[in-house]
Structure 1
Amino acid sequence: MNTVIQIHELFKKYKGADFFSVKELSLAIQQQEIVGLIGPNGAGKTTLISILCGLIHPTSGTFTIKGLTYTDHALQIKNLIGIVPQEYALYPTLTARENLTYFGSLYGLKGKNLKNKINEYLTILGLIHFADKRIETFSGGMKRRINLIAGILHDPEILFLDEPTVGVDVQSKNVIIDFLNELNRKGTTIIYTSHHLAEAEDFCTRIAIIDEGRIFIEGTPEFLIQSVAGATNLEEVFLTLTGKKLRDAL
């Protein structure tokens, strides 16, 4: 299996911060894996994804995406990856179709090809009848699904998902996860963060538990559960390794 992301001893310390958000982090992600990055608030998950998406620069360390670096191949990497952020990246006063047309155009999509892709994904995710309604009228679950479509219109080989099902109803969550599983079956590599540990246990082929910027352990969900005495699920593994102390932070 081909390595699509190679991370070597990555560090990130924000200006004015007392501690590193990511430190000594190394990880290899293989083609068509679904890798879950799981950790408490402030563990470094979103920082790591932001680095891999080229949104922020690491303090030190290296990483490649399909053997490429942002220094030399930023545009090529942009076309290889899709990003679905936790916050809605949508214009509320525009319709669903207008939003998707705009985001598709950022990747050079246009005309009939873009129109067909939008209609296809709106249909699959149960939103075709709301295509010409403004986003500000949508429920949270509907916005999540539009947010997802905006990140995959250009058919990325690698998809980054930051809490893709947070705050949605059970039906929307099931539709989103089924859709992501189908993308993965067709070849898309997925890197995913979530606080829904039961969902991560079912969805991911491999999980890395991150705390204080480091990977504590990584492997299949089954391996992680077997590695902790008495654990029967991922949540018990998580609490054993990261503790029960609250992680509130400003």
Structure 2
Amino acid sequence: MSALASFPIAQKWPATDPSVIQLYSFPTPNGVKASIALEEMELPYEAHKVTLSDADVKSPEFLSLNPNNKIPAIIDPNGPDGEAIGLFESGAILLYLGEKTGKFIGNSARDKARITQWLMFQMGGLGPMFGQLGFFYKFAGSEIEDPRPRDRYINEAKRLLSVLEGHLEGRDWVAGDYSIADMAIAPWLRALDFYGAKEVLGWEGHKNLVAYLDRFLDRPAVQTGLVTPPRD
């Protein structure tokens, strides 16, 4: 019997190869963290497109794996102690895959602590704040006449960019060598273009961030991960 048989999500998104990691995702800034990590770590996997529609993320099958109805999520049929494991939350997935492979999480406890610190900076700050910026600057929140919500997230996004810009002075990557922290942070910087917010945030004035994002986007694994699974 396949290790996936006990996971209801596999009924809605059946596996072609149930022996490899199953990725349930969509190419959003959070979603591509997982696909980029899988590509960078050279892990065999199968990607299933889970759209952001209620029919997908609020389906009983998807909720059985992630009750918080957010992508990405994975099933590793070869999890700890040889038992299948399902995981949600992009940061948790990055840590799990890093631990599984021993890649991109540093070579010492000190390295790992530093990398985890910057991963949490993205999870607790950069992602949520940039997401709210997108809502109030580009999407439905932009119709609100009161400027205070929009100004709040513009100012907070500027502050976070300043933190990163200063930290990257003299550095290629945020936590020493290229790591899962970069796989988490850089996709959210890229999202500023989608939100049409680069100009209002003074993006071009951040020379370290501009060079950092260019370095990230030049990586072949990143280029594949950014379009996995395909939108169409």
User: Structure 2-normalised TM-score?
Assistant: 0.31
User: Structure 1-normalised TM-score?
Assistant: 0.29
Q: Which has the higher helix share?
A: 2
